Chains A and B, each alone.
Chain A
Amino acid sequence: MRRVEILRVVAAKLLIPFILLFALYVQFHGDFGPGGGFQAGVIFGAAFVLYALIFGLDAARRVAPRAVVDRLVALGVLLYAGTGVVTMLLGGRFLDYDVLNHHHPVHGQHWGIFAVELGVGITVAAGMITLYFSFAGRRRGS
């Protein structure tokens, strides 16, 4: 490999784990500081985009196979709406998180927000990955 390529590969290998870790931090600490599902999802997707840019689309496709990512996009929305349905089944209204924990409604709110933000994060991350891979997978002139 030429020197410039080694530099890029090494820099990417150093950065990508931190980016993923930061995305997870932003997702789960969205309650305490700035952050939450959307930001975390975008950052997580950006890590995969970086991987695809440096190592090529085929290698990135092996890490994030099309079938898995497609299902994840839908899974996030399902998780969100599913939380709403669960609260309805437990007796409350749609997306009324208080009923998730009868003794401590505040904890119910925490669980509800956690599940909902997770759903949003999953959909946004998988969505960003799919967007980029769709563009990059389209060859010129055919």
Chain B
Amino acid sequence: MRGLLAAAMLTGIYSFLGACWMVILDAPDVAFTEAAVGAGIATVLMLATLSLTSTREKPPTRSTAVPLLVVIVTGAALWYGTFDMPHYGDPEAPIHRWPDPSYVERTRVEVDMPNVVTAVLASYRGYDTLGETTVIFTAVIGVMLLLRRPKREQGAK
């Protein structure tokens, strides 16, 4: 696929399908965010970048044999590793027992808020969310530094 505009569009569709799968996996908050971010903002930013650069890709000059081999070897290794993983939907899986399985009950008692995910995000794991907000802030400053033009006089814009 050489047309980058089409590639950007397909990435947006891929994010949206991922979001649909997340809804099936009982994670509506995440699906919401993934759909809004992946299918919305990411696509817009990619299209903006493509409009500022070129929209077609050069045909590849290197051979694709080595990357393909690397990918197949890595994929096989990962596939071999999945045989030790817990099964899909298993209620006895380790992820449900460590670190602390009582978030749902504790939310009911201490925070009394139906959306457990928001309660965990903002209260039980509030520090992480503060860090995340700072990361967004820093990234926005980075983009401002990279792409802002200094104020000029009238006509040069």
By a beta-carbon cutoff of 8 Å, the part of chain A in contact with chain B is: 26, 30-39, 42-43, 45-46, 49, 70, 73-74, 76-77, 80-81, 84, 95, 97, 105-106, 109-110, 112-113, 116-117, 119-120, 123-124, 126-128, 130-132, 134-140
Contacts and interface: CB of A to CB of B under 8 A. Distances in A.
Given A112-B122, A134-B143, A32 B134 contact: no
A39 B115 contact: no
Contact of A132 (B44, B111, B127): B44
Interface string B3-44: 000000000000000000000000011011100110011001
Contacts of A46: 36, 40-41, 44
B123 A112 contact: yes
A31 B118 contact: yes
Contacts of A137: 147-149
Interface stretch (B45-53, B60-68, B92-100): B45-53
Interface of B: 28-29, 31-33, 36-37, 40-41, 44-45, 48-49, 51-52, 110-115, 117-119, 121-123, 126-127, 129-130, 133-134, 136-137, 139-140, 143-144, 146-149, 157
Most buried by A among B36, B133, B148: B133
User: What is the interface of chain A mostly: helix, strand, loop, or mixed?
Assistant: helix
A95 B45 contact: no
